[in-house]
Amino acid sequence: MANFGGPTMLKRTLGLQEDRYSQYIGPTTDFEPSLIDLSPFDPQDESLLSRGTLRKVSDGHTFLMLPDYSTPGHEHVIEDADAIENIVAPHGPALLELYFRIIHPNFPILQKTVFFEKYNRSYREFSPPILAAVYILAINWWDHSEELAGLPRPDLRELERLARVTLADAMYRPKLSTVQAGLLLSQRPEGDQWAPTAQLVAIGQELGLHLDCTNWKIPLWERGLRKRLAWALYMQDKWGSLVHGRPSHIFASNWAVQPLTPSDFPDVEFDESDSEESAEYEKGRLLFTQMISLSKILAEVLDTFYTLQAMATVTAAGSQGTQLVLQLAKPVQLQLKDWFAALPSCLRMDSSSSSSQRSNKLSSTGYLHLAYFATEITLHRRIIRSLAPSGQGDVKPSLDPYVLHICRSAAKTRLISAMDFVNRLTSSHLRAFWYFASKTNFALIGTFGSLLWATAPGREEAEWYRRRLAEYRWTLGVSCKGGNGEGGNGRLTEFAMGMLDTSTGLLKALPEKPALSRVGSEAENLSNGNRRQGNPAEGYGYGSYGGSSSGGFGIGGPRGRESSVGDTEDTGLAIRSGLASPSTSVSSSGGSAAGYENYMVPSNGYSAPGADDGYR
């Protein structure tokens, strides 16, 4: 491409050359970095060696450029691209329009201008797996195109088979498009697996995506693309680590990628005279960058509480384990509070709901807020486990009843908030693009409720959680219907329903709990005195910056009004559908939650939008 006649954005690219691929030369390989500088480099910063061509992109970073033709499967590239295009023909352009209208603004890991430059010349310029991945995702919104709706859909199963086969071949000659294809295929409802994520991280390191490319001698657009792609890979690793319960592959000590800036999105993606389209793209970029910020907090939660070493440390602390967990939780909780408080107004659910309803546009904001709840739940799961190591409500004998009370109350607040959020999702949210982890994040809400049920000190509180989980399952069923037909999103909540049934099925083996929980009553009697005396729990962030009984989100209704999932004032899909919910008022908790509003951790304001957004 460096010698391509005429104007092209692919000249001097490092990671998207048509006939060569790059390998980053690390500091410990058989290439000695000190000797590389002795090699004669031409004006294109390249030096031909017997093993390949050295490409120097900065004073400290050099790549080895190798020919594609020597890799397995290269002889089938044109044949595979033809097979993929023939499956969707003549609808390829219409599918690209769908992809760049619905998916790309909210997950901008392609370079739109470069993509269309290549496509307008020939689809054969693409690596087959990226072409297949774009088509596969776009087909999920087939009925969203006036041109395609009503026509028979392409053979999705054959497309997916070709994508898998060609992606395996492309890994022998990895390029940026290889990582792009792997990430896009992971966004399918059934596409996420842990092993391919590990492969993608390894390929990203081969391509130098973990490095700071700010001053590299490559096109400006490629620097921005590399940064966006690197952070997308980071998110895939961290959220994959959460949903699969596996150790992360990316560590801060080997991650030099700089934060994204507006200049890292250089595409002219919209008609600048169209203010509405411009606002949608800007909203998508903010959504992507805010998800990155949240993923960094999730990474801290996983590193602080869920590594083998971290869990062993809490176990070794014995009776002081809960205090240790609370100590570690406070700074993370503050980060979550600050993250939510700083959300741009266009990304808040009340804003996105009203704008989507007015314009009938899809809104992907839901996946960001669901990820926020999943992060909070992951933090609170660790706290609740530390209270009752047996998992069946047998709290540590040395545990202060007041600490138990406020920790469980804070967890209960998060659960109610998360369930109410799901209940308020509209069809504009449910039919939009959802990030791959969303399927499990929906399920984690039910898993968290099951944990609180299992660890409830008394029968009344356990029964309250049982009823709440039944309501949540009903809500998931309604959402499943609202998400069907677009993006396969009905399967997101369908998976959560199945996981909830599994969790509640396991709870049938729980020993019978006492009829009345003395722990909750004692905590309520002690609460005021302990607050005056500076109970240690205050210092861990539980009660020190929470909401009040008249403010915040936690109990379901505006300004603290107690409401149920089926409240008639709710504006979500569940109510507009006309279906009746087996609702139960929050106040039916058997007294175990009385007063918990005063000890809430930072709330999120979904039910109480306003200047304070639920934070007080």
Query: For residue range 354-374, what is the model confidence (pLDDT) as tens digits?
Result: 555 555 789 999 999 999 999
Question: Coil, strand or helix: which one is 127?
Answer: coil
Using pLDDT thresholds of 50, 70 and 90, give the confidence band for residue 281. confident
- Same domain, residue pair 260 and 326: no
Do the domain assignments include residue 25? no
Residue 2, in any domain of the structure: no
Considering the domain architecture, whether residues 568 and 490 belong to the same structural domain is answered as yes
CB 484 within 8 A of CB 425: no
Burial class (CB in 10 A: 0-12, 13-18, 19+), 330: middle
Please state, in angstroms and rounded to a whole number, the distance separating the CA atoms of residues 167 and 205: 17
- Outline where DSSP puts E strands in 16-82: 20-24, 46-48, 53-56, 62-67
Asked if residue 485 has pLDDT above 90, the reply is no
Cβ(353)–Cβ(426) below 8 Å: yes
Q: Which residue would you say has higher pLDDT here, 58 or 586? A: 58
Q: Is the pLDDT of residue 390 over 80?
A: no
* Residue environment code for 96-127, b if the CB has 16+ CB neighbours within 10 A, otherwise e: bebbbbbbbbbbbbbbbebbeebbeeebebbb
In a domain, 61, yes or no: no
What pLDDT band is residue 391 in, cutting at 50, 70 and 90? low
pLDDT band with cut points at 50, 70 and 90 for residue 64? very high
Beta-bridge partners for 556: 562
pLDDT digits (tens, 9 = 90+) for 534-548: 444 444 444 332 333
* One domain, residues 325 and 220: no
Do 391 and 481 lie in a common domain? Answer: yes
Per the listing, tokens 């409720």 go with 449
Domain shared by 513 and 412, yes or no: yes
Overall average pLDDT of the 475-480 stretch: 86
CA distance 97 to 84: 17
Mean per-residue pLDDT of the chain:
81
What is the average pLDDT across 293-319?
96
Given CA atoms 477, 479, 481, 483 in this order, what sign does their dihedral have? negative
If residue 226 lies in a helix (H) or strand (E), which one and from where to where? helix 220-244
Residue 500 belongs to a domain = yes
Q: What is the C-alpha separation between 124 and 81, in angstroms, rounded?
A: 6
Query: Are 219 and 362 in the same domain?
Result: no
**Rounded CA separation 111/269 (Å):** 10
Q: Are 526 and 401 in contact (CB under 8 A)?
A: yes
What 3 state SS string does 484-495 have?
Answer: CCCCCCHHHHHH
Largest Cα separation within the chain, whole Å, is 83
Q: Please check the confidence at residue 582 and state whether its pLDDT lies above 80.
A: no
The closest of 255, 253, 72 to 165, measured between CA atoms, is 72
Q: For residue 89, what pLDDT is reported?
A: 96
CB 35 within 8 A of CB 27: no
432 with 510, same domain?
yes
- Note the Cα 609 to chain centre separation in Å: 24
Same domain, 365 and 488: yes
Q: What is the pLDDT of residues 592-611, one digit of tens each?
A: 333 323 333 444 444 332 22
- Taking the C-alpha atoms of residue 526 and residue 195, their distance in angstroms, rounded to an integer, is 50
Q: Hey, what are 378's tokens?
A: 């992951």
Residues 242 and 345 occupy one common structural domain: no
Based on the fold, state whether residues 353 and 244 are members of the same structural domain.
no
Residue type, 87: I
User: Angle CA(523)–CA(528)–CA(530) in degrees, nearest 5?
Assistant: 75
* 289 vs 108: CA distance, rounded Å: 10
Cβ atoms of 609 and 571 within 8 Å: the answer is: no
Mean pLDDT of 224-237: 97
Asked whether residue 346 falls in the same domain as residue 237, the answer is: no
With H, G, I as helix, E, B as strand and everything else as coil, classify residue 540.
Answer: coil
Quickly list DSSP for 89-120: TT-HHHHHHHIIIIIGGGS--S-HHHHHHHHH
Distance CA 561, CA 415 (A): 17
Closest CA to 45 of 12, 20, 19, 21: 12
- If one counts the domains in the chain, the total is 2
In a domain, 11, yes or no: no
Structure tokens at 503: 């969790």
Domain region containing 470: 321-599
Question: CB within 8 A of 487, min separation 6: which ones?
Answer: 140, 141, 189, 431, 432, 433, 434
Tell me the CB-side half-sphere exposure of residue 604, using CA atoms within 13 A.
28
Burial degree of 327 (CB within 10 A; 0-12, 13-18, 19+): middle
How far is residue 36's CA from residue 27's CA, in Å, rounded to a whole number? Answer: 11
What is the per-residue pLDDT for 591? 31
Q: In this structure, what are the phi and psi dihedrals at residue 63, rounded to the nearest 5 degrees?
A: -120, 155
Residue at 333 is within a domain: yes
- Report yes or no on 364 lying in a domain: yes
Instruction: Report the helix count and the strand count for the chain, using DSSP H and E.
Output: 22, 4
User: Which of 309-313, 317-321, 510-514 has the weakest average pLDDT?
Assistant: 510-514
pLDDT per residue as tens digits for the range 126-136: 999 999 999 99
pLDDT digits (tens, 9 = 90+) for 516-573: 645 444 444 544 444 434 444 444 444 332 333 222 333 233 323 333 333 333 334 4
pTM listed for this prediction: 0.85
Task: With cut-offs at 50, 70 and 90, classify the pLDDT of residue 488.
Answer: low
Which of 264, 280, 302 represents a domain boundary (last residue)? 264
Is 14 part of a structural domain of the chain? no
**By 3-state DSSP, what share of the chain in percent is helix, strand and coil, each rounded to 5?**
60, 5, 40
Q: What is the mean pLDDT of residues 173-201?
A: 93
First to last CA, the chain: 58
Provide mean pLDDT across the span 186-194.
84
Condensed to tens digits (0 to 9), the pLDDT of residues 341-350 reads 999 999 998 7
**The tokens of 546 are what?**
């929470």
Q: What SS3 state is found at 556? A: strand
Of the candidate ranges 32-41, 83-92, 444-453, the one whose mean pLDDT is the lowest:
32-41
Amino acid at 489: N
Q: Are 442 and 496 a contacting pair, CB within 8 Å?
A: yes
CA distance 52 to 55: 10
Evaluate the CA torsion angle 75, 77, 78, 82 in order and state its sign.
positive
pLDDT at residue number 213: 97
- Is pLDDT at 97 greater than 70 in this prediction? yes
Q: Check whether residue 333 and residue 214 sit in a common domain.
A: no
Sort strands 46-48 and 20-24 into parallel, antiparallel or unpaired. Answer: unpaired
